[in-house]
Amino acid sequence: MKIILQISFILLVVGGILLANDTAYPLENGQRQMGVFQPRIYGMNNNLEISTHPLLFFVKPNVKLKKFYKEINGFGLASRYSFDYPTLLLKILQKKGIGGLLSNPNDVGKIPHLIVLQGELLATKIFTKHSVTAKLGMSTCLGCALDSRHLIDYDLAYPRMALYHHGIGANMGLDLDYIYSEKISLKADGDLLFLPEENVFIEHKFLIHYTLSSNYTLSGGYKYSYGYYPFNKRESLWNLFPLFDLSWRWNK
Amino acid sequence: MTTFEDVESAIYYEDTSQESAEFNDTLKVMTWNIRFGAGRIPFFGDSCGDRVLMTQGETEGYLNSIVAYIKSTEPDILLLQEVDISSKRSAYVNQLQYILDRTHLNYGAYASMWNVEIVASDGLGKVDAGNAILSRWEITDAERIKLPLRTDQDDLTQYFYLRRNILKAKITLPEHDNFYAVNIHATAFAKDDTKQKHIDEYVNVLNDIEENDEIFISGGDLNALTPWASKRDFCEDDKCSDDVCDGNYNTNTVYEGSYFEFIPNEINLLRPLYNFNPAIDSVSLQQDDLSLINTHSPWNTNANNTGFSDVDYWDRKLDYLFTNFEDGFINGTTHQDAHELSDHAPVSATLVFP
């Protein structure tokens, strides 16, 4: 049972990473959105949007705040700030036996308190059938000096966990959303992740959204990752992961 | 998890700076399970410890000691087991390349026995470990010969578990174009008949070479006792503090790797190999000459492994060398002085060509 819980949490964490949706425009006040793997998003007044993953919150307290400012020359501008405390989750993953993704405390050491803060600027231009969003961000995990042996040397996980070791990182990306028909829309994005003493990590995803009803959307696609990891410092690796999710919207 | 064909090409390595390789009609051969360069660190799994992930400094420290020992013994052909080439537990140091680059040995061949992108157990992470043959002379025709999987595991465990193999390669000895080296690391923990299957396949490989009028030197960690070993239950020696040796051999996991009578007639398991010429002859084994025999002991024989003489330090023989060369080996030696470098002692011997 404990292993099933662990796997569920990992799926939620990975799903949240894979399916992140970037646009400067927030949900309208009173609108709510959630997915199986995506966080719960609350549209607030004053062009604010708050999101958190409620199930994950108990083991990985997390909250994201997005503030839309205004449009300049047709570009919607927003900033986004997030807080993340992964210590509890990492402690769950630090165990002996099956399910132990991190080595025991007597080997590499205890998981310290890790407080991750991220700030991003978002700019979105909306056209008739498509929109383009540019993103630029900085992340800090001040005082973090997690032993590098605690990092999971695997696509997607490594560049995010490496922040707990290096203490600082940056990201930039571009999102393209295209409305193909009333029921089908497409999303493609590309992200660059920068960390000290590491080569740049590149990620890209492509999703097809199918609107099942006014409230429900089914999504499927892939995530591509590219990078250099501790075991292949001289030769880059890439990987593809399938993506799927069901999300739903409602009004308060 | 990487899967393998029944027989496939091994992976070739070369020293970045070649050393001279004169052949003076003698050939020293050595086999050594180097325990992935972990020395006697109390690892989880095999020695009742907590350690899982070494630092690069720790790994290179032990590897440097192993390199120094190899240089001092000067084998012409070296059979290694438990060589990590890309494992998180040994800081991703490519141990085969590391040893080649720092010794007189020029060529290597590698066959992985465990290649998993991420082992989600105990924080082990990525593993690529296996058998290697190192030689002064060029290696060709290197084959990875698949050995049967254990059948006493559930499917999930088996999926992530070891894929053991025999590594067979031709050594281009000057004036000898029919010379092979064969390296094996047989199953350690199986309670079914997997060990019998591994040894049977090993004997078949060696017989095939012999039938082709070719010469082999062969050996490795057979994880089996000699036919003359009187003690066959090492549970009390190997158990961790919470373990109990209760005689329930098939259900109590503490007996895995410590009890050597799981298969019928296991006492005679290695007897067919003694049709070839062993490095340590059967007369010495029957006379219980411990200074020639024992090659292995677990960490927890003693809390810090000090206070032992060379003979007392090791408590069983698992590592062997054989040849079908008609004159046999000379100078068969079990290097019991190599205390802290691994949980196995090297075994070496020499062929003298007419």
For residue A203, give the CATH number of its domain: 2.40.160.40
Q: Which member of B50, B86, B121 has the closest CB to residue A231?
A: B86
What is this structure's pTM?
0.92
Q: What is the pLDDT of residue A1?
A: 44
Taking an 8 Å cut-off on Cβ atoms, the answer to whether B55 and A98 are in contact is no
User: B-chain residues within 8 Å CB-CB of A103?
Assistant: 52-53, 122-124
**Residue A157: phi, psi to the nearest 5?**
-70, -45
Residue A67 makes CB contacts below 8 A (sequence gap 6+) with: A26, A46, A47, A48, A49, A78, A79, A80
pLDDT digits (tens, 9 = 90+) for B113-171: 999 999 999 999 999 999 999 999 999 999 999 999 999 998 888 888 999 999 999 99
Q: The dihedral of CA B188, B189, B194, B196: what is its sign? A: positive
User: A-chain residues within 8 Å CB-CB of B117?
Assistant: 154
Taking an 8 Å cut-off on Cβ atoms, the answer to whether A108 and B86 are in contact is no
Give CA–CA dist B235/B257, Å, rounded. 9
Q: Which member of B86, B117, B123 has the closest CB to residue A154?
A: B117
- From the CA of A219, how many Å to the nearest CA of chain B? 28
Q: At residue A8, does pLDDT exceed 90? A: no
Q: Which residue of B has its CA nearest to A101?
A: B123
Per-residue pLDDT band at A7 (split at 50, 70, 90): low
For an interface test with A, the pick among B43, B47, B53 (most A C-beta atoms closer than 10 Å) comes out as B53
Are B344 and B296 spatial neighbours (Cβ–Cβ below 8 Å)? yes
Q: At residue B86, does pLDDT exceed 60? A: yes
pLDDT digits (tens, 9 = 90+) for A79-104: 999 999 999 999 999 988 888 999 99
DSSP reduced 3-state for B56:
helix
User: B-chain residues within 8 Å CB-CB of A161?
Assistant: none
Q: Which residue of A has its CA nearest to B56?
A: A149
Asked if CATH classification 3.20.20.150 holds for the domain at B7-352, the reply, yes or no, is: no
- Structural domain span for residue A48: 2-251
**Residue A132: phi, psi to the nearest 5?**
-125, 135
- From the CA of A161, how many Å to the nearest CA of chain B? 14
User: B-chain residues within 8 Å CB-CB of A231?
Assistant: 86, 88, 92, 126
Write the DSSP symbol of residue A200: P
Q: How many domains does chain A have?
A: 1
User: B-chain residues within 8 Å CB-CB of A102?
Assistant: 123
Burial B177-194 (b: 16+ CB within 10 A, else e): eebbbbbbbbbbbbbbbb
**How far, in Å, are A26, A195, B145, B224, B276 from residue B261 at the CA level?**
69, 55, 26, 10, 24
Taking an 8 Å cut-off on Cβ atoms, the answer to whether B123 and A231 are in contact is no
ipTM score of the complex? Answer: 0.87
Q: Which member of B50, B121, B126 has the closest CB to residue A97?
A: B121
Taking an 8 Å cut-off on Cβ atoms, the answer to whether B118 and A152 are in contact is yes
Q: What is the pLDDT of residue A3?
A: 52
